[in-house]
Amino acid sequence: MSERDDAIAVPRLTRKGKATRERIVETAAQLMFDGGVAGTSIDDVKRAAGVSSSQLYHYFVDKQALVHAVIAHQTQVVLDVQRPLLSALDSFEALETWRDVIVGLQADRHGQGGCPIGSLGGELAEVDVDARNELADSFAQWESAIRDGLHAMRERGVLGPDADPDRLALAMLAALQGGLLLTQIRRETTPLEVALDAAIAHVETFRAVA
């Protein structure tokens, strides 16, 4: 059963069933963020979510199906925080605001956990082809949100016509992921700040000439 098949069943759940499923997914997401996918067992999720085996397996046929639901959940959480900022990009000040929000989130966590999507990728990319494809789609959605913001900046005349939002968005996402990883390892936000500042400085080289 794929994550897509599992997602199709969600609308047929009762309100109580949806709430139970969401609680299981949210609990699993937090446990896997804190202790990794391999370090989180089905029993761990059952205990933390306060559900029985029959309840959990009613929604997820196995741990893999649950992991796929966690990928979708973490993707939504990450993008829900950033989309309002990215969709409103109309200046370099707005880009700096996006940067500050990301750095602030990591500062609040003291660098722990890294990227909710990237940490899953680090564990699953070589062992679960379906999960890798889903994570690739997650990053594609993130990249698209950044790209849309940069396209808006070019359309509004903030960036010059020679700016390539596709390549710039990919560069910014790559810088962001590298910064998040080093921030997780070092437990301080300087790597993330430097990476994002460098990425934004590169975007500024395409500033429209007045």
> Do the domain assignments include residue 210?
no
pLDDT tens sequence across 119-160: 999 999 999 999 999 999 999 999 999 999 999 999 999 999
- CATH assignment at residue 181: 1.10.357.10
Closest CA to 195 of 93, 119, 102: 102
> Do the domain assignments include residue 186?
yes
> What range defines the domain where residue 8 resides?
3-204
Domain count, the chain: 1
pTM score, whole prediction: 0.86
> Do the domain assignments include residue 54?
yes
> Do the domain assignments include residue 209?
no
**What does the alpha-carbon distance between residue 68 and residue 7 come to, in Å, rounded to a whole number?**
10
The predicted pLDDT at position 90 comes to: 77
**What does the alpha-carbon distance between residue 148 and residue 104 come to, in Å, rounded to a whole number?**
23
